[in-house]
Amino acid sequence: MNFTGQDLASFIENLDRLHLAVGAAMPGARLPSFTTISKAPGQLMVEYRSDRTGLEQFVLGLFDGLITRFGATGDVQIAEHKADSIIFELQYQDGS
């Protein structure tokens, strides 16, 4: 995980690369895709795409875990359900 990013925003921006790297060794894996659609101090809007449904609470929990891992505190919400994607809103304060 250390190679994927040194802070929350860059880690999330590199999530697709991480999954592609892992997926290269796993034929048949169905990988998610994450796009940062906006980035402000303490706030990220991230679009999640998948060909699976029903994983949004799982993703929410993973984002929550990432906030903790990067020493921040915060909150994750589903901002919008779109036809083929879900927008997550992360609000956080750095731990220092």
Q: Is 89 in the site for ligand HEM (CB under 6 A)?
A: no
Q: Is 26 in the site for ligand HEM (CB under 6 A)?
A: yes
Residue of 20, 22, 24, 37 that binds ligand HEM (CB under 6 A): 22
Residue of 59, 67, 72, 86 that binds ligand HEM (CB under 6 A): 59
CA distance 50 to 88: 14
Q: Determine the distance from the C-alpha atom of residue 33 to the mean position of all C-alpha atoms in its chain, rounded to a whole number.
A: 9
Residue of 2, 27, 30, 41 that binds ligand HEM (CB under 6 A): 30
Q: Which residues pair with 88 in a beta bridge?
A: 46, 78
Q: How many other C-beta atoms lie within 10 A of the C-beta of residue 38?
A: 11
CA distance 79 to 29: 27
Q: Answer yes or no: are the C-beta atoms of 37 and 79 closer than 8 Å.
A: no
Residue of 50, 64, 78, 87 that binds ligand HEM (CB under 6 A): 50
Which residues would be at the binding site for ligand HEM (CB under 6 A)? Answer: 1, 15, 18-19, 22, 26, 29-32, 50-52, 55, 58-59, 62-63, 66
